[in-house]
Structure 1
């Protein structure tokens, strides 16, 4: 099937051609059931037979600015016409401007950006920088986390995907705060944070502080459940890092650039990291891009010393041009503010209202356009709901014209940052109707 022919194809034809030739990630290949997507606009996508879906997944929680934003598309086209690619050793204005804009949203004391192709290699290089800067090896990260699918990043990840890929060394995991399913027998959020910090300090002491290069955290663990930390937790981690001379890396790959209603999610907490990783929302994945925002102290280590890392497509001009257009549009159009407001005024209250109506909802949590609805079979024991229920819920939402993001016993309500109040309410109605349908059998 040619690209031209595909525009006139049916969903079934596109899907058949795809599964015949494409090896899909995180999937048993014989059990694939993809949805064919032809085009998108704002918060909606359309299949090859004209059916529209409200994208409540932002594809992979990355299309923050929405589908086909005209300023971003135009910037890519303009850059492609001028210079489609350039080696990273050369200077390029799109790359420099993208770095300048990213740094303008970082805390004081950050002066350089190392560009990568995505979030995994951003975390990979942040780990490398921390190890080179400290002369230490170990990296501490949470069990409930995802940091990417490359050598060190996947081993830093805490979930099941780490286990078949544990080839990198020097990684230690610990439990972060998760009050709804506390590992610390806590009675409230504050106590959960305090006990989680005590646990982390004991891990640091037990591993030997002099051996630890970095603590790597998702500011808000995303794929693991959109687990918003207690207010004092991240400042407490910062204090522990300072106490033991450890670098703090905050992974903003999913949570950053509007997703949590802030430019960086850590802006909602009183904390300043040593290294910041980003990807996804910086240009909504229109062209692959990620990177590490580097503090002056760490960057200065490489003024006379060669940094032993690089990528052929580091700071690719098409990607950087799209990032510049995206960040400028976000600022000009109040997109970050919209994400913050719609989360506080529409999505959050709407999901909490559903939790009151449906006993199967155990907890609702989130910020901005970054929300999780956790489903339980029993409200008292908090036993997770079955895979069968989640499959039925996903299908019911698709049937009603919404593209959901489900993971384990959760639905992640993660639309683009440009979602309108009415679109958010439509998504909430769709979820309510789907829940009612599944409950009715």
Structure 2
């Protein structure tokens, strides 16, 4: 047991020492960690304990969609805590019922009910379970460039390196999705990439045995993997393959949903109809842990007279539900989703395109709304990725200029809260251009 006393917060060094001395951090070797301390936030800005101010271009883990300390959401949590701070999921509760209603108002046509979870990982976990029970099949097909969470099946459905040391769940198959800039299919146009990726996907289905595949679990727009925008026709093609072979389509909207793309859900940009939709993050901007599954009528009816063998003590926790209702109402009233679309179309998109024209280090920019990635390369011709050492230096420089960035591999993700103004977006983008120009 650690013997270090907790010292009253007063400065960055004190907080960092207390944190690293007692907290076991995610996805990290623990020795040598130096996490940035954050003391407070408001809107799109945060402050550390030494009083330094940062413009947040990360939304933490791409979840603070309505910004920090939104007064309506904070008030809703406080009022709910004063009235009923907790209730078990077996009981009916007005906060849970209203949260489900508000989510369904923005769900795809045909969604009937909401199963609430604590986060995105267990949302995907339970969606997989529903698909397996509904179809009587076992396998789940997902993409290599993906992230679906850190629980048992969700991490094995994930395609990146984090899957490999955690492969304890059964029945998972992976395919390559479309990514024209680094095409696996020797494609030269978006149309070729879409057609060839779909052919590859269907051949994997056929080779695995269509009657063995319960579900395809895809991020509508793969986020952590690089904001990989689906090319024209791809998601429609995925839906057609699922229909052809009786496979459930689960769209993971954990990162891309609730305003991030300038639409209520990312799938609204592509007019695709899934069977299940998973969500978390932006549904309440992470103010209280919450996630869930939007369930279609057909799958919901499977469990009318059959027990669904799943549940969580905190499913539909009232504080989380109050924060969901307040967040969605704030998005509606303040037109936050529309703001994300406008900022993407008029500021971020054009500014990044111009930046890419001027700077050879930028291989590609891609995105929508307030969901973008800048892919950095050491060589524009070969598309060799910028090495980790240079990415580390870029991150340090961005923070020195007062920008809180989100970096992954050779990319800077431009993912500010959806409430960001045009001036704030310009300020952050100017910092990125300055740092990349001076590297």
Distance 1:2 1:267, change over 3 A: farther
Alignment check: 8 A CA contact 1:377 1:383 kept: yes
Deviation at residue 109 of structure 1 after TM alignment:
1.1
CA distance in 2, matches of 1:54, 1:3: 29
In 2, distance between residues paired with 1:10 and 1:2?
Answer: 16
- Contact 2:12/2:49, CA 8 A, preserved across alignment: yes
Deviation, structure 1 residue 31: 2.6
Please list, as runs of the form range in 1=range in 2, the aligned pairs for 1:56-67 lying within 5 A after superposition: 56-67=57-68
Please state if 1:114 is matched with 2:94: no
Is 1:179 aligned to residue 180 of structure 2? Answer: yes
Structure 1 consecutive aligned stretches of length 4 or more whose deviation exceeds 6 Å: 1-4
Cross-structure match for 1:346: 347
Q: Distance in 2 between matches of 1:123 and 1:357?
A: 41
* Number of the residue aligned with 1:5: 8
State the shift of 1:108 in Å.
1.8
Deviation at 1:315, TM superposition (A): 0.3
| C-alpha contact (below 8 Å) 2:137/2:212 kept by paired residues | yes
* Residue 306 in structure 1 maps to residue 337 in structure 2: no
Give the structure 1 partner of residue 204 of structure 2: 203
- 1:155–1:165 CA contact under 8 A, matched in 2: yes
Name the counterpart of 1:335.
336
Q: Is the 8 A contact 1:396 1:437 kept in 2?
A: no
By how many angstroms is 1:302 displaced? Answer: 0.6
Q: Secondary structure at the match of 2:304?
A: coil
Are the equivalent residues in 1 in contact too, given 2:56–2:416 (CA < 8 A)? yes
Mapped to 2, the partners of 1:11 and 1:66 lie a distance apart of 23
Where 1:31 maps in the other structure, the secondary structure is coil
Shift of 1:3: 8.1
- Provide the rounded CA distance (Å) in 2 between the counterparts of 1:305 and 1:120: 24
Q: TM-score, normalised by structure 2?
A: 0.98
After superposition, the CA RMSD in angstroms is 1.0
2:274 aligns to what?
A: 273
1:372 and 1:412 map into 2 onto residues whose CA distance is: 4
In the TM superposition, 1:23-422 aligns within 5 A as: 23-422=24-423
Contact 2:361 2:436 in 1 (8 A): no
| CA distance, structure 2, for counterparts of residue 193 and residue 432 of structure 1 | 32
What CA deviation, in whole Å up to 9, does each residue of 1:11-50 have, x standing for no partner? 0110011000000000110131211100000000000011
Distance in 2 between the 1:36 and 1:178 partners?
Answer: 36
CA–CA distance in structure 1, aligned partners of residues 275 and 55 of structure 2 = 38
Deviations 1:382-406 (A, max 9, x none): 0101111100110000000000000
Deviation of 1:223 (Å): 0.3
User: 1:2: how far off?
Assistant: 8.3
Measured in 2, the distance between the counterparts of 1:390 and 1:2 equals 36
CA–CA separation in structure 2 for the residues paired with 1:437 and 1:152: 44
CA distance in structure 2 between the aligned counterparts of 1:417 and 1:387, rounded to whole angstroms: 29
SS in 2 for 1:225: coil
C-alpha distance in 1, partners of 2:46/2:93? 34
**Secondary structure in 1 matching 2:221:** coil
Q: C-alpha displacement at 1:154, in angstroms?
A: 0.1
User: Helix, strand or coil: the match of 1:29?
Assistant: coil
Uncovered stretches (5+) of structure 1, i.e. residues with no partner: none
Residue correspondences, number: 436
State the 1:127 CA deviation. Answer: 0.1
1:365-418 Cα offsets, whole Å, 9 max, x none, are: 000000000001111110101111100110000000000000000000000000
User: The residue matched to 1:5 in structure 2 has which SS?
Assistant: coil
The alpha-carbon deviation at position 244 of structure 1 amounts to 0.2
1:214–1:247 contact (8 Å) kept in structure 2 = yes
